[in-house]
Amino acid sequence: MRLLHNASPPPLLTSFSPRKKTLILTKKSSFNSHHKPLQQVLSTGVSLVLSLGLLVSAPNSIALESPSSLQSSSSSLEVTCREVYKKDTEVISKVVSNERIVEEAWQIVNDSFLNTSPRSWSPEYWLQKKEDILSSSIQTRSKAHDIIKRMLASLGDPYTRFLSPEQFSKMAIYDMTGIGVNLRDVPDGNGGSKLKVLGLLLDGPAHNAGVRQGDELISVNGVDVLGKSAFEASSLLLGPNGTSVNIMVKHGNCGPVQSIDVERQSIAKTPVFYRLEQVESGSTSVGYVRLKEFNALARKDLVTAIKRLEGMGASSFVLDLRDNLGGLVQAGIEIAKLFLNEGDTVTYTVGRDPQYTRNIVAEAPPLITAPVIVLVNKSTASASEIVATALHDNCRAVLVGDKTYGKGLIQSVFELPDGSGVVVTIGKYVTPNHMDINGNGVEPDFRKFPAWSEVSNRLSKCHKQPEG
């Protein structure tokens, strides 16, 4: 991902989350103290799920149903919907103040930030920071943005930073659906989950077709998405540019169900380059795949490349991740799964709250079982390191080249009310072999390209560490 204007590798992005006007209606009784972090997520519209895909959300893009059109089988829920509607319309009608923008940036850090620097951080310190900043009025928007920049810089985290509205809008290249929405699994109140639109690209295909934040996705081209993950549903939405996809959405928890045709308009470019090479005097056909970044097209185009190379006779593969600074964490995770056996660990993610520590595993057999060499160097970072260590630690590949960068932190990007945003470190990942690579990097198995017989011998002697 090449959106930064400094020398540091870009963040490992997991979710783009709107802070404002995400209409999620639930009965209060559906939450208890055990689910407090989840309650905070739902009540503010902030996604803290560490492994899901990018969410691009648009400023001022909510269109709420009028109270007379709301339908509900529960009178108490209908009252809740009406109350939220009234509250949101009152907020929408007001000009967003500079103080509110600063306060929302402060709140995002307060709710989500994971401190990994030597500098101490505490909620008490952060509360005092807020009181100092908001003790006087903020006269201009540029002043508000400058305050946010200084406030984030005080955290001592090089990856937590401010995005101007122009920088935030560029994140559209990481739209994983092709129609400008991001989906998130949320509890349905009955022990299951449903898919909600928690981010919407302003003037994107879905927004222009009538989809709104808070809508529930019911089906894609007639396929019921109940029980499907956000990534699975996003994959159903993908398709060639200019083609249409039919979706059924329910407008909020109280609104009607509507069938909408949306024309796909993905702006992401393929990050995959591939070719077939003959090595070792022509005795071995090797499929070479170069992956430049992890964007919305990475997994789909990599699958296409691998299948074509197999059809051309490739019996071994080289995955080139050199100078790949990362991008979408979910794309990296899903790409790693293509090479792993069912049940293999891709990575462990660790958040500020222990509830968000989880083991991410492959759920299906691998796409290929051929031996793999992963090329790495000092600019292999973030999502690239997830893929490299997942394949290495599960005895599916050897690493060749130079030591990797060593960025094991996870960032999320949150939108502010004026269309600007903040990138905040919310977690870190640990390799399947329980190595914290942040600041350390990963050493390769070979500095120079080995013979394929040596690769096969190394992989045959490899033993995975036990889970846990």
- For 246-283, the pLDDT digits (tens) are 999 998 777 789 999 999 886 667 899 999 999 877 77
End position of a domain, from candidates 223, 246, 263: 263
This prediction has a pTM of 0.64
Greater pLDDT, 335 or 199 = 335
Do residues 63 and 215 make contact, with C-beta atoms less than 8 angstroms apart? Answer: no
CATH number, position 32: 3.30.750.44
Domain membership flag for residue 138: yes
Which is higher by pLDDT, 208 or 336? 336
Q: What percent of the chain has pLDDT over 90?
A: 49
Residue 336 belongs to what domain range? Answer: 272-409+427-460
Shared-domain flag, residues 301 and 237: no
CATH number at residue 435: 3.90.226.10
16/165 same-domain check: yes
How many CA within 13 A on the CB side of residue 405?
Answer: 23
Structure tokens at 222: 């007639």
Q: Residue 347 forms beta bridges with which residues?
A: 360
Distance CA 232, CA 459 (A): 31
What value does the mean pLDDT of the chain take? 77
* Choice among 37-46, 83-92, 311-320 with the minimum mean pLDDT: 37-46
Of the listed ranges 32-36, 335-339, 415-419, the least confidently predicted one is: 32-36
285 an active-site residue?
A: no
- Boundary of a domain, candidates 240, 263, 286: 263
Is the domain of 401 the same as that of 340? yes
Token pair in block for residue 95? 């000009």
The CB density around residue 303, as the number of other CB atoms within 10 Å, is 15
* Whether residues 221 and 308 fall in one domain: no
Of the residues 137, 172, 207, the one at which a domain ends: 172
Statement to judge: residues 259 and 276 lie in one domain:
no
- Considering the domain boundaries, does residue 38 fall inside one? yes
Does residue 245 sit in the same domain as residue 314? no
Do 447 and 322 belong to one domain?
yes
Give yes or no: residues 295 and 391 share one domain: yes
Q: Which of 196, 292, 407, 428 is catalytic?
A: 407
CA distances from residue 398 to 111, 260, 318, 343 in whole angstroms, order as listed: 39, 47, 10, 20
CB 236 within 8 A of CB 264: no
**Of the spans 38-47, 91-100, 113-122, 156-165, which averages the highest pLDDT?**
156-165
Measure the CA–CA gap between 91 and 96, rounded to whole angstroms: 8
* Residue 2 domain flag: no
- Total domains in the chain come to 3
Inside any domain, residue 178? no
Can 407 be counted among the known catalytic residues? yes
Q: Got the DSSP string for 7-28?
A: SSPPPEEEEEEE-S-------G
**Type of residue at 125:** Y
What is the per-residue pLDDT for 396?
A: 98
Burial profile 290-301: b = 16 or more Cβ within 10 angstroms, e = fewer? bbbbbbbbbbbb
For the stretch 11-43, pLDDT in tens is 333 333 334 322 222 222 222 322 223 222 222
In a domain, 131, yes or no: yes
* Same domain? 442 vs 299: yes
* pLDDT given at position 199: 66
Q: Is residue 245 part of a domain?
A: yes
Least confident segment among 52-66, 72-86, 188-202, 321-335: 52-66
For residues 192 and 168, membership in a common domain is answered with no
Place of tokens 């305050």: 147
Residues 198 and 135 in one domain: no
**4 found inside a domain:** no
Is residue 307 predicted with pLDDT exceeding 60? yes
Domain assignment present for 422: no
Of the candidates 57, 112, 266, 382, the residue annotated as catalytic is: 382
Instruction: Please tell me whether residues 89 and 225 are part of one structural domain.
Output: no
